[in-house]
Structure 1
Amino acid sequence: MSKTFTQTKEELVGKAKKQMDTTFGQGDWTVRQKLALTCRILFEGGHDSGLAGQITARATEPGTYYTQQLGLGFDEITASNLLVVNSDLEVLEGKGMANPANRFHSWVYEARPDVNCIIHTHPTHIVALSMLEVPLQVSHMDMCPLFDDCAFLKDWPGVPVGNEEGELISKALGSKRALLLSHHGQLVAGDSIEQACVLAELFERAARLQLLASAAGDIKPIPEKLGKEAHDWILRPTRSAITFAYFARRVLKKHGDALA
Protein backbone atom coordinates (compact mmCIF):
# COMPACT_ATOMS: atom_id res chain seq x y z
CA MET A 1 0.00 0.00 0.00
CA SER A 2 1.25 3.48 -0.81
CA LYS A 3 2.75 5.28 2.16
CA THR A 4 0.95 8.51 1.20
CA PHE A 5 -2.58 7.00 1.30
CA THR A 6 -2.81 7.60 5.03
CA GLN A 7 -1.49 11.17 5.01
CA THR A 8 -3.84 14.09 5.61
CA LYS A 9 -4.69 16.68 2.97
CA GLU A 10 -2.72 19.26 4.94
CA GLU A 11 0.36 17.04 4.87
CA LEU A 12 0.03 16.37 1.15
CA VAL A 13 -0.45 20.06 0.35
CA GLY A 14 2.64 20.96 2.36
CA LYS A 15 4.66 18.27 0.62
CA ALA A 16 3.53 19.42 -2.82
CA LYS A 17 4.39 23.06 -2.05
CA LYS A 18 7.86 22.14 -0.87
CA GLN A 19 8.47 19.97 -3.93
CA MET A 20 7.36 22.72 -6.32
CA ASP A 21 9.55 25.30 -4.61
CA THR A 22 12.64 23.11 -4.88
CA THR A 23 11.94 21.85 -8.41
CA PHE A 24 11.16 25.09 -10.22
CA GLY A 25 13.12 28.33 -10.44
CA GLN A 26 11.84 31.86 -11.04
CA GLY A 27 13.19 32.24 -14.60
CA ASP A 28 16.13 34.21 -15.97
CA TRP A 29 14.31 37.09 -17.66
CA THR A 30 14.96 40.70 -16.73
CA VAL A 31 12.17 42.99 -15.56
CA ARG A 32 12.08 44.61 -19.00
CA GLN A 33 11.84 41.23 -20.71
CA LYS A 34 9.09 40.02 -18.40
CA LEU A 35 7.08 43.16 -19.07
CA ALA A 36 7.53 42.80 -22.84
CA LEU A 37 6.49 39.15 -22.61
CA THR A 38 3.46 40.17 -20.55
CA CYS A 39 2.40 42.63 -23.24
CA ARG A 40 2.62 39.91 -25.91
CA ILE A 41 0.88 37.31 -23.71
CA LEU A 42 -2.02 39.66 -23.05
CA PHE A 43 -2.19 40.65 -26.70
CA GLU A 44 -2.65 37.01 -27.64
CA GLY A 45 -5.17 36.66 -24.79
CA GLY A 46 -7.49 39.29 -26.26
CA HIS A 47 -6.49 42.16 -23.98
CA ASP A 48 -5.55 44.53 -26.78
CA SER A 49 -7.93 47.40 -27.49
CA GLY A 50 -6.06 49.67 -29.84
CA LEU A 51 -3.80 51.82 -27.71
CA ALA A 52 -5.91 51.50 -24.55
CA GLY A 53 -4.45 49.92 -21.45
CA GLN A 54 -1.20 50.16 -19.53
CA ILE A 55 1.22 47.65 -18.05
CA THR A 56 3.70 48.91 -15.46
CA ALA A 57 6.24 47.55 -12.97
CA ARG A 58 8.33 49.22 -10.31
CA ALA A 59 11.80 50.29 -11.44
CA THR A 60 14.98 50.42 -9.36
CA GLU A 61 14.65 53.93 -7.95
CA PRO A 62 11.81 54.60 -5.47
CA GLY A 63 8.83 56.34 -7.08
CA THR A 64 9.72 55.20 -10.61
CA TYR A 65 8.28 52.50 -12.84
CA TYR A 66 8.48 50.96 -16.29
CA THR A 67 5.69 51.43 -18.79
CA GLN A 68 5.11 51.27 -22.53
CA GLN A 69 5.34 54.20 -24.93
CA LEU A 70 2.08 55.85 -25.89
CA GLY A 71 1.50 55.04 -29.55
CA LEU A 72 2.68 51.43 -29.43
CA GLY A 73 0.32 48.48 -29.23
CA PHE A 74 0.90 45.54 -26.90
CA ASP A 75 2.15 43.51 -29.86
CA GLU A 76 4.88 46.10 -30.53
CA ILE A 77 6.39 46.28 -27.05
CA THR A 78 9.95 45.03 -26.67
CA ALA A 79 12.31 45.00 -23.70
CA SER A 80 14.27 47.89 -25.22
CA ASN A 81 11.43 50.28 -26.10
CA LEU A 82 9.92 50.46 -22.62
CA LEU A 83 10.08 53.76 -20.74
CA VAL A 84 11.02 54.51 -17.16
CA VAL A 85 8.91 57.31 -15.66
CA ASN A 86 8.44 58.90 -12.26
CA SER A 87 5.14 59.36 -10.43
CA ASP A 88 4.56 62.60 -12.38
CA LEU A 89 4.93 60.63 -15.64
CA GLU A 90 8.13 62.44 -16.57
CA VAL A 91 10.28 60.22 -18.81
CA LEU A 92 13.59 59.30 -17.17
CA GLU A 93 14.67 56.62 -19.66
CA GLY A 94 13.59 56.03 -23.23
CA LYS A 95 11.92 58.10 -25.94
CA GLY A 96 8.37 59.33 -26.36
CA MET A 97 5.75 59.75 -23.66
CA ALA A 98 3.75 57.57 -21.31
CA ASN A 99 -0.01 57.21 -21.54
CA PRO A 100 -1.51 60.02 -19.40
CA ALA A 101 -3.85 57.43 -17.88
CA ASN A 102 -0.82 56.00 -16.07
CA ARG A 103 -1.54 58.61 -13.40
CA PHE A 104 -3.77 56.20 -11.49
CA HIS A 105 -0.91 53.67 -11.48
CA SER A 106 1.11 56.25 -9.53
CA TRP A 107 -1.72 56.47 -6.99
CA VAL A 108 -1.92 52.69 -6.60
CA TYR A 109 1.85 52.33 -6.15
CA GLU A 110 1.77 55.08 -3.54
CA ALA A 111 -1.06 53.41 -1.63
CA ARG A 112 0.20 49.83 -1.96
CA PRO A 113 3.92 49.24 -1.19
CA ASP A 114 3.29 45.51 -1.70
CA VAL A 115 2.36 45.99 -5.36
CA ASN A 116 5.16 45.61 -7.91
CA CYS A 117 3.20 45.34 -11.17
CA ILE A 118 -0.07 46.84 -12.39
CA ILE A 119 -2.02 45.75 -15.46
CA HIS A 120 -4.97 47.72 -16.78
CA THR A 121 -6.70 46.48 -19.95
CA HIS A 122 -10.06 46.48 -21.76
CA PRO A 123 -10.55 42.85 -22.89
CA THR A 124 -13.84 41.88 -24.53
CA HIS A 125 -15.54 39.78 -21.85
CA ILE A 126 -14.46 41.95 -18.93
CA VAL A 127 -15.73 45.01 -20.78
CA ALA A 128 -19.03 43.25 -21.54
CA LEU A 129 -19.41 42.38 -17.86
CA SER A 130 -18.52 45.93 -16.85
CA MET A 131 -21.36 47.22 -19.03
CA LEU A 132 -23.82 45.23 -16.88
CA GLU A 133 -22.55 46.92 -13.70
CA VAL A 134 -22.25 43.62 -11.83
CA PRO A 135 -19.28 42.34 -9.79
CA LEU A 136 -17.14 39.41 -10.87
CA GLN A 137 -18.48 36.07 -9.60
CA VAL A 138 -15.87 33.40 -8.98
CA SER A 139 -17.51 29.98 -9.01
CA HIS A 140 -14.93 27.66 -10.54
CA MET A 141 -11.74 26.20 -9.09
CA ASP A 142 -9.43 27.51 -11.83
CA MET A 143 -10.60 31.08 -11.20
CA CYS A 144 -10.09 30.94 -7.42
CA PRO A 145 -6.95 33.11 -7.40
CA LEU A 146 -9.55 35.88 -7.76
CA PHE A 147 -11.83 34.49 -5.03
CA ASP A 148 -12.58 37.28 -2.53
CA ASP A 149 -9.70 39.16 -4.15
CA CYS A 150 -11.54 41.23 -6.77
CA ALA A 151 -13.09 44.57 -5.84
CA PHE A 152 -15.81 46.36 -7.81
CA LEU A 153 -16.15 50.04 -8.75
CA LYS A 154 -19.71 50.59 -9.88
CA ASP A 155 -19.53 54.34 -10.53
CA TRP A 156 -17.56 55.09 -13.70
CA PRO A 157 -15.09 57.89 -12.94
CA GLY A 158 -14.65 58.94 -16.57
CA VAL A 159 -11.31 59.30 -18.34
CA PRO A 160 -8.70 58.32 -15.70
CA VAL A 161 -6.13 61.07 -16.27
CA GLY A 162 -6.87 63.21 -13.22
CA ASN A 163 -5.85 62.83 -9.61
CA GLU A 164 -9.52 62.42 -8.67
CA GLU A 165 -9.69 59.19 -10.67
CA GLY A 166 -6.40 57.99 -9.23
CA GLU A 167 -7.65 58.49 -5.69
CA LEU A 168 -11.00 56.84 -6.44
CA ILE A 169 -9.50 53.80 -8.18
CA SER A 170 -6.80 53.22 -5.55
CA LYS A 171 -9.40 53.40 -2.76
CA ALA A 172 -11.77 51.07 -4.61
CA LEU A 173 -8.97 48.52 -5.05
CA GLY A 174 -8.21 48.63 -1.34
CA SER A 175 -6.11 45.66 -0.26
CA LYS A 176 -7.27 43.36 -3.07
CA ARG A 177 -5.33 42.26 -6.14
CA ALA A 178 -7.99 42.96 -8.78
CA LEU A 179 -10.65 45.51 -9.59
CA LEU A 180 -13.55 45.49 -12.06
CA LEU A 181 -14.34 49.02 -13.24
CA SER A 182 -17.85 49.56 -14.60
CA HIS A 183 -18.06 50.76 -18.20
CA HIS A 184 -14.29 50.55 -18.40
CA GLY A 185 -12.20 47.41 -17.85
CA GLN A 186 -9.99 45.68 -15.31
CA LEU A 187 -7.06 46.43 -13.07
CA VAL A 188 -4.72 43.87 -11.54
CA ALA A 189 -2.16 44.78 -8.87
CA GLY A 190 0.32 41.95 -8.37
CA ASP A 191 3.14 41.11 -6.03
CA SER A 192 5.19 40.31 -9.14
CA ILE A 193 4.99 40.67 -12.91
CA GLU A 194 4.35 36.95 -13.20
CA GLN A 195 1.46 37.04 -10.75
CA ALA A 196 -0.13 40.09 -12.34
CA CYS A 197 0.09 38.57 -15.82
CA VAL A 198 -1.49 35.29 -14.72
CA LEU A 199 -4.26 37.08 -12.81
CA ALA A 200 -5.07 39.31 -15.78
CA GLU A 201 -5.44 36.26 -18.01
CA LEU A 202 -7.62 34.53 -15.41
CA PHE A 203 -9.73 37.67 -14.98
CA GLU A 204 -10.74 37.73 -18.64
CA ARG A 205 -11.48 33.99 -18.62
CA ALA A 206 -13.54 34.36 -15.43
CA ALA A 207 -15.60 37.14 -17.01
CA ARG A 208 -16.20 34.99 -20.08
CA LEU A 209 -17.31 32.04 -17.95
CA GLN A 210 -19.60 34.27 -15.91
CA LEU A 211 -21.32 35.58 -19.02
CA LEU A 212 -21.72 32.06 -20.43
CA ALA A 213 -23.02 30.59 -17.17
CA SER A 214 -25.41 33.44 -16.37
CA ALA A 215 -26.92 33.12 -19.85
CA ALA A 216 -27.86 29.53 -19.00
CA GLY A 217 -29.08 30.03 -15.42
CA ASP A 218 -28.20 31.26 -11.95
CA ILE A 219 -24.55 30.88 -10.99
CA LYS A 220 -24.16 28.79 -7.84
CA PRO A 221 -21.58 29.97 -5.29
CA ILE A 222 -18.76 27.79 -4.04
CA PRO A 223 -18.18 27.39 -0.27
CA GLU A 224 -16.13 30.25 1.13
CA LYS A 225 -13.69 27.97 2.96
CA LEU A 226 -12.94 25.93 -0.16
CA GLY A 227 -12.68 29.06 -2.32
CA LYS A 228 -10.07 30.54 0.01
CA GLU A 229 -8.22 27.22 0.14
CA ALA A 230 -8.02 27.11 -3.66
CA HIS A 231 -7.03 30.81 -3.75
CA ASP A 232 -4.05 30.21 -1.49
CA TRP A 233 -3.08 26.95 -3.21
CA ILE A 234 -2.99 28.39 -6.73
CA LEU A 235 -1.83 31.93 -5.99
CA ARG A 236 1.71 31.12 -4.88
CA PRO A 237 4.90 32.71 -6.29
CA THR A 238 6.23 29.42 -7.66
CA ARG A 239 2.89 28.54 -9.27
CA SER A 240 2.72 32.01 -10.87
CA ALA A 241 6.27 31.64 -12.17
CA ILE A 242 5.54 28.21 -13.66
CA THR A 243 2.37 29.43 -15.38
CA PHE A 244 4.06 32.60 -16.65
CA ALA A 245 6.92 30.53 -18.09
CA TYR A 246 4.41 28.38 -19.98
CA PHE A 247 2.64 31.47 -21.34
CA ALA A 248 6.04 32.91 -22.34
CA ARG A 249 7.14 29.77 -24.18
CA ARG A 250 3.87 29.72 -26.06
CA VAL A 251 3.96 33.39 -27.05
CA LEU A 252 7.64 33.38 -28.06
CA LYS A 253 6.78 31.02 -30.89
CA LYS A 254 5.01 33.98 -32.54
CA HIS A 255 6.67 36.97 -30.86
CA GLY A 256 10.38 36.20 -30.80
CA ASP A 257 11.25 39.91 -31.05
CA ALA A 258 9.75 40.70 -27.63
CA LEU A 259 13.03 40.09 -25.78
CA ALA A 260 15.06 42.44 -27.98
Structure 2
Amino acid sequence: MASTFTDSKSTLMERARAQMVSELGQVPWTARQKVALTCRVLFDHGHDSGLAGQITARAEQPGTFYTQRLGLGFDEITEDNLLLVDEDLRVLDGSGMANPANRFHAWIYRARPDVQCIVHTHPFHVAALSMLEVPLRVSQMDIAPLYDDCAFLPDWPGVPVGNEEGEIITAALGDKKAVLLAHHGHVVAGASVEEACSLAVLIERGAALQLAAMAAGTIAELPERLAREAHDWTLTAKRSKANFAYYARRALTGHPDAINQ
Protein backbone atom coordinates (compact mmCIF):
# COMPACT_ATOMS: atom_id res chain seq x y z
CA MET A 1 0.00 0.00 0.00
CA ALA A 2 1.36 3.41 -0.96
CA SER A 3 2.20 5.63 2.00
CA THR A 4 3.64 8.80 0.45
CA PHE A 5 0.69 10.26 -1.49
CA THR A 6 -0.18 12.73 1.26
CA ASP A 7 3.42 13.89 1.84
CA SER A 8 4.35 17.46 0.99
CA LYS A 9 6.70 18.30 -1.85
CA SER A 10 9.35 19.47 0.62
CA THR A 11 9.16 16.17 2.50
CA LEU A 12 9.49 14.18 -0.71
CA MET A 13 12.45 16.30 -1.83
CA GLU A 14 14.27 15.87 1.46
CA ARG A 15 13.69 12.12 1.38
CA ALA A 16 14.99 11.91 -2.19
CA ARG A 17 18.07 13.98 -1.30
CA ALA A 18 18.90 11.63 1.57
CA GLN A 19 18.41 8.61 -0.68
CA MET A 20 20.70 10.07 -3.35
CA VAL A 21 23.43 10.54 -0.75
CA SER A 22 23.24 6.90 0.26
CA GLU A 23 22.53 5.29 -3.11
CA LEU A 24 24.58 7.26 -5.66
CA GLY A 25 28.14 5.98 -5.44
CA GLN A 26 31.50 7.66 -5.89
CA VAL A 27 33.18 7.83 -9.27
CA PRO A 28 36.18 5.46 -9.33
CA TRP A 29 38.67 7.63 -11.23
CA THR A 30 41.69 9.70 -10.16
CA ALA A 31 41.93 13.45 -10.78
CA ARG A 32 44.14 12.88 -13.84
CA GLN A 33 41.72 10.32 -15.22
CA LYS A 34 38.74 12.61 -14.67
CA VAL A 35 40.44 15.44 -16.56
CA ALA A 36 41.26 13.11 -19.46
CA LEU A 37 37.70 11.79 -19.46
CA THR A 38 36.33 15.35 -19.39
CA CYS A 39 38.34 16.14 -22.54
CA ARG A 40 36.78 13.13 -24.30
CA VAL A 41 33.27 13.86 -22.98
CA LEU A 42 33.40 17.45 -24.20
CA PHE A 43 34.85 16.41 -27.55
CA ASP A 44 31.84 14.13 -27.99
CA HIS A 45 29.54 17.05 -27.10
CA GLY A 46 30.96 19.39 -29.73
CA HIS A 47 33.37 21.42 -27.62
CA ASP A 48 36.37 20.88 -29.88
CA SER A 49 37.58 23.89 -31.83
CA GLY A 50 40.95 22.84 -33.20
CA LEU A 51 43.47 23.38 -30.42
CA ALA A 52 41.46 26.12 -28.69
CA GLY A 53 40.20 25.66 -25.16
CA GLN A 54 41.68 24.42 -21.92
CA ILE A 55 40.64 22.14 -19.10
CA THR A 56 42.47 22.32 -15.79
CA ALA A 57 42.03 20.77 -12.36
CA ARG A 58 43.83 21.47 -9.12
CA ALA A 59 46.53 18.91 -8.38
CA GLU A 60 47.67 17.61 -5.01
CA GLN A 61 50.23 20.37 -4.28
CA PRO A 62 48.98 23.95 -3.78
CA GLY A 63 49.54 26.19 -6.78
CA THR A 64 49.68 23.31 -9.26
CA PHE A 65 47.15 21.92 -11.72
CA TYR A 66 46.70 19.36 -14.45
CA THR A 67 46.06 20.42 -18.02
CA GLN A 68 46.44 19.18 -21.56
CA ARG A 69 49.54 19.60 -23.69
CA LEU A 70 49.41 22.31 -26.34
CA GLY A 71 49.25 20.67 -29.75
CA LEU A 72 46.83 17.90 -28.78
CA GLY A 73 43.10 17.99 -29.42
CA PHE A 74 40.55 16.99 -26.81
CA ASP A 75 40.10 13.65 -28.58
CA GLU A 76 43.82 12.87 -28.12
CA ILE A 77 44.09 13.50 -24.38
CA THR A 78 44.94 10.61 -22.08
CA GLU A 79 45.84 10.46 -18.43
CA ASP A 80 49.44 9.75 -19.48
CA ASN A 81 49.94 12.80 -21.72
CA LEU A 82 48.45 15.35 -19.33
CA LEU A 83 50.81 17.92 -17.87
CA LEU A 84 51.31 18.97 -14.28
CA VAL A 85 52.13 22.70 -14.20
CA ASP A 86 52.59 25.48 -11.67
CA GLU A 87 51.03 28.96 -11.71
CA ASP A 88 53.76 30.20 -14.04
CA LEU A 89 52.85 27.35 -16.43
CA ARG A 90 56.19 25.66 -15.86
CA VAL A 91 55.88 21.93 -16.55
CA LEU A 92 56.54 19.91 -13.40
CA ASP A 93 55.62 16.56 -14.89
CA GLY A 94 55.14 15.53 -18.51
CA SER A 95 56.59 16.73 -21.80
CA GLY A 96 55.67 19.66 -24.03
CA MET A 97 54.10 22.97 -23.06
CA ALA A 98 50.79 24.12 -21.65
CA ASN A 99 48.51 26.46 -23.55
CA PRO A 100 49.64 30.02 -22.64
CA ALA A 101 45.96 30.92 -22.16
CA ASN A 102 46.01 28.80 -19.01
CA ARG A 103 47.33 31.91 -17.26
CA PHE A 104 43.81 33.16 -16.52
CA HIS A 105 42.98 29.83 -14.86
CA ALA A 106 45.61 30.56 -12.22
CA TRP A 107 43.94 33.91 -11.53
CA ILE A 108 40.59 32.20 -10.99
CA TYR A 109 42.09 29.55 -8.72
CA ARG A 110 43.72 32.26 -6.60
CA ALA A 111 40.47 34.21 -6.27
CA ARG A 112 38.17 31.21 -5.82
CA PRO A 113 39.40 28.56 -3.35
CA ASP A 114 36.07 26.76 -3.89
CA VAL A 115 36.93 26.07 -7.54
CA GLN A 116 38.61 22.73 -8.25
CA CYS A 117 38.25 22.53 -12.04
CA ILE A 118 37.99 25.07 -14.87
CA VAL A 119 36.66 24.37 -18.36
CA HIS A 120 37.15 26.93 -21.11
CA THR A 121 35.95 25.96 -24.58
CA HIS A 122 34.45 27.47 -27.73
CA PRO A 123 31.55 25.12 -28.61
CA PHE A 124 29.50 26.05 -31.66
CA HIS A 125 26.30 27.35 -30.07
CA VAL A 126 28.06 29.15 -27.20
CA ALA A 127 30.36 30.81 -29.73
CA ALA A 128 27.39 31.80 -31.91
CA LEU A 129 25.52 33.24 -28.92
CA SER A 130 28.64 35.13 -27.87
CA MET A 131 28.62 36.91 -31.25
CA LEU A 132 25.25 38.47 -30.40
CA GLU A 133 26.63 40.04 -27.20
CA VAL A 134 23.72 38.74 -25.12
CA PRO A 135 23.85 36.83 -21.81
CA LEU A 136 22.79 33.22 -21.44
CA ARG A 137 19.04 33.01 -20.71
CA VAL A 138 18.04 30.09 -18.51
CA SER A 139 14.39 29.40 -19.23
CA GLN A 140 14.13 25.61 -19.34
CA MET A 141 14.41 23.05 -16.56
CA ASP A 142 17.36 21.08 -17.96
CA ILE A 143 19.52 24.21 -17.76
CA ALA A 144 18.40 25.10 -14.21
CA PRO A 145 21.82 24.42 -12.64
CA LEU A 146 22.97 27.60 -14.41
CA TYR A 147 20.05 29.76 -13.29
CA ASP A 148 21.47 33.02 -11.89
CA ASP A 149 24.84 31.26 -11.95
CA CYS A 150 26.19 32.33 -15.35
CA ALA A 151 27.78 35.77 -15.55
CA PHE A 152 28.40 37.73 -18.75
CA LEU A 153 31.49 39.58 -20.01
CA PRO A 154 30.22 41.95 -22.73
CA ASP A 155 33.61 43.36 -23.77
CA TRP A 156 36.07 41.05 -25.50
CA PRO A 157 39.55 41.58 -23.97
CA GLY A 158 41.41 39.85 -26.82
CA VAL A 159 43.63 36.79 -26.63
CA PRO A 160 43.64 35.71 -22.95
CA VAL A 161 47.36 35.15 -22.44
CA GLY A 162 48.14 38.19 -20.28
CA ASN A 163 47.61 38.94 -16.63
CA GLU A 164 45.15 41.66 -17.65
CA GLU A 165 42.80 39.04 -19.10
CA GLY A 166 43.18 37.00 -15.93
CA GLU A 167 41.98 39.94 -13.88
CA ILE A 168 39.15 40.81 -16.28
CA ILE A 169 37.77 37.27 -16.62
CA THR A 170 38.08 36.54 -12.89
CA ALA A 171 36.24 39.78 -12.04
CA ALA A 172 33.49 39.01 -14.56
CA LEU A 173 33.04 35.48 -13.20
CA GLY A 174 32.72 36.76 -9.64
CA ASP A 175 31.13 34.10 -7.44
CA LYS A 176 29.24 32.40 -10.29
CA LYS A 177 29.70 28.91 -11.67
CA ALA A 178 30.15 30.13 -15.25
CA VAL A 179 30.65 33.17 -17.45
CA LEU A 180 29.76 33.70 -21.09
CA LEU A 181 32.50 35.65 -22.87
CA ALA A 182 31.30 37.88 -25.70
CA HIS A 183 32.93 37.11 -29.07
CA HIS A 184 34.75 34.20 -27.46
CA GLY A 185 33.29 31.23 -25.58
CA HIS A 186 32.60 30.31 -21.99
CA VAL A 187 34.33 29.53 -18.72
CA VAL A 188 32.95 27.07 -16.19
CA ALA A 189 34.39 27.06 -12.66
CA GLY A 190 33.34 23.90 -10.87
CA ALA A 191 33.56 22.72 -7.30
CA SER A 192 34.77 19.42 -8.76
CA VAL A 193 35.83 18.00 -12.11
CA GLU A 194 32.47 16.26 -12.26
CA GLU A 195 30.55 19.50 -11.75
CA ALA A 196 32.65 21.44 -14.26
CA CYS A 197 32.19 18.77 -16.91
CA SER A 198 28.44 18.56 -16.32
CA LEU A 199 27.97 22.34 -16.45
CA ALA A 200 30.08 22.64 -19.60
CA VAL A 201 27.78 20.14 -21.32
CA LEU A 202 24.78 22.13 -20.09
CA ILE A 203 25.99 25.58 -21.13
CA GLU A 204 26.35 24.47 -24.74
CA ARG A 205 22.89 22.89 -24.65
CA GLY A 206 21.53 26.07 -23.08
CA ALA A 207 23.05 28.23 -25.82
CA ALA A 208 21.58 25.96 -28.51
CA LEU A 209 18.14 26.13 -26.91
CA GLN A 210 18.37 29.91 -26.55
CA LEU A 211 19.29 30.44 -30.19
CA ALA A 212 16.43 28.19 -31.32
CA ALA A 213 13.96 29.96 -29.03
CA MET A 214 15.13 33.43 -30.10
CA ALA A 215 14.60 32.46 -33.73
CA ALA A 216 11.03 31.36 -32.98
CA GLY A 217 9.86 34.15 -30.69
CA THR A 218 10.36 35.86 -27.34
CA ILE A 219 11.88 33.88 -24.49
CA ALA A 220 9.66 33.84 -21.40
CA GLU A 221 11.24 34.13 -17.97
CA LEU A 222 11.06 31.36 -15.39
CA PRO A 223 9.30 32.15 -12.08
CA GLU A 224 12.20 33.07 -9.80
CA ARG A 225 11.15 30.98 -6.78
CA LEU A 226 10.70 27.83 -8.84
CA ALA A 227 13.84 28.47 -10.86
CA ARG A 228 15.93 28.78 -7.70
CA GLU A 229 14.31 25.62 -6.35
CA ALA A 230 15.25 23.80 -9.56
CA HIS A 231 18.80 25.22 -9.42
CA ASP A 232 19.36 24.00 -5.88
CA TRP A 233 17.71 20.63 -6.59
CA THR A 234 19.81 19.87 -9.65
CA LEU A 235 23.17 21.43 -8.71
CA THR A 236 24.40 19.02 -6.03
CA ALA A 237 27.64 17.10 -5.70
CA LYS A 238 25.88 13.74 -5.97
CA ARG A 239 24.01 14.70 -9.13
CA SER A 240 27.19 16.06 -10.71
CA LYS A 241 29.01 12.82 -9.95
CA ALA A 242 26.16 10.74 -11.37
CA ASN A 243 26.00 12.90 -14.50
CA PHE A 244 29.75 12.67 -14.96
CA ALA A 245 29.80 8.91 -14.47
CA TYR A 246 27.19 8.53 -17.21
CA TYR A 247 29.03 10.83 -19.61
CA ALA A 248 32.34 9.09 -18.85
CA ARG A 249 30.92 5.62 -19.46
CA ARG A 250 29.65 6.77 -22.84
CA ALA A 251 33.02 8.37 -23.65
CA LEU A 252 34.93 5.24 -22.71
CA THR A 253 32.85 3.23 -25.14
CA GLY A 254 34.26 5.29 -28.00
CA HIS A 255 37.58 6.29 -26.42
CA PRO A 256 38.89 3.36 -24.34
CA ASP A 257 42.43 4.75 -24.63
CA ALA A 258 41.64 7.82 -22.50
CA ILE A 259 42.61 6.15 -19.23
CA ASN A 260 44.55 3.11 -18.09
CA GLN A 261 41.91 0.58 -17.13
TM over 0.5: yes
Give me the whole-angstrom Cα distance separating, in 1, the residues matched to 2:224 and 2:68.
38
Q: Secondary structure at the match of 1:253?
A: helix
Give 1:111-126 correspondences, 5 Å limit.
111-126=111-126
Q: Secondary structure at the match of 2:92?
A: strand
Deviation for aligned residue 1:60: 0.6
The aligned counterpart of 1:185 is: 185
Q: Amino acid of the residue matched to residue 244 of structure 1?
A: F
Deviation for aligned residue 1:214: 0.5
Q: Amino acid of the residue matched to residue 62 of structure 1?
A: P
Map Cα deviations across residues 183-242 of structure 1 (whole Å, 9 max, x no partner).
000000000000000000000000000000000000000011111100110111111111
Give me the whole-angstrom Cα distance separating, in 2, the residues matched to 1:36 and 1:183.
27
Map Cα deviations across residues 93-133 of structure 1 (whole Å, 9 max, x no partner).
11000000000000000000000000000000000000000
Q: Secondary structure at the match of 1:36?
A: helix
The aligned counterpart of 2:48 is: 48
The aligned counterpart of 2:246 is: 246
Q: Amino acid of the residue matched to residue 209 of structure 1?
A: L
Give me the whole-angstrom Cα distance separating, in 2, the residues matched to 1:89 and 1:63.
10
Q: Work out whether 1:12 is the aligned partner of 2:7.
A: no
Q: Work out whether 1:225 is the aligned partner of 2:228.
A: no
Q: Secondary structure at the match of 1:75?
A: helix
Give me the whole-angstrom Cα distance separating, in 1, the residues matched to 2:250 and 2:75.
14
Q: Amino acid of the residue matched to residue 96 of structure 2?
A: G
The aligned counterpart of 2:86 is: 86
The aligned counterpart of 2:197 is: 197
**Alignment root-mean-square deviation, CA:** 0.6
The aligned counterpart of 1:108 is: 108
Deviation for aligned residue 1:27: 1.2
Q: Secondary structure at the match of 1:243?
A: helix
> Sequence identity, in percent?
66
Give 1:128-139 correspondences, 5 Å limit.
128-139=128-139
Give me the whole-angstrom Cα distance separating, in 2, the residues matched to 1:21 and 1:212.
36
TM-score, normalised by the number of residues in structure 2? 0.99
Q: Secondary structure at the match of 2:139?
A: coil
Give 1:21-170 correspondences, 5 Å limit.
21-170=21-170
Give me the whole-angstrom Cα distance separating, in 1, the residues matched to 2:233 and 2:76.
34
Q: Amino acid of the residue matched to residue 194 of structure 1?
A: E
Give me the whole-angstrom Cα distance separating, in 2, the residues matched to 1:148 and 1:24.
27
Q: Amino acid of the residue matched to residue 156 of structure 2?
A: W
After superposing on structure 2, the runs of 4+ consecutive aligned residues of structure 1 that deviate more than 2 Å are none
Give me the whole-angstrom Cα distance separating, in 1, the residues matched to 2:24 and 2:231.
20
Map Cα deviations across residues 152-183 of structure 1 (whole Å, 9 max, x no partner).
00000000000000000000000000000000
Give me the whole-angstrom Cα distance separating, in 2, the residues matched to 1:114 and 1:235.
15
Deviation for aligned residue 1:2: 2.3
Give me the whole-angstrom Cα distance separating, in 2, the residues matched to 1:177 and 1:45.
19
Task: Give structure 1 stretches of 5+ with no counterpart.
Answer: none
The aligned counterpart of 1:212 is: 212
Deviation for aligned residue 1:3: 1.3
Q: Amino acid of the residue matched to residue 213 of structure 1?
A: A
The aligned counterpart of 1:3 is: 3
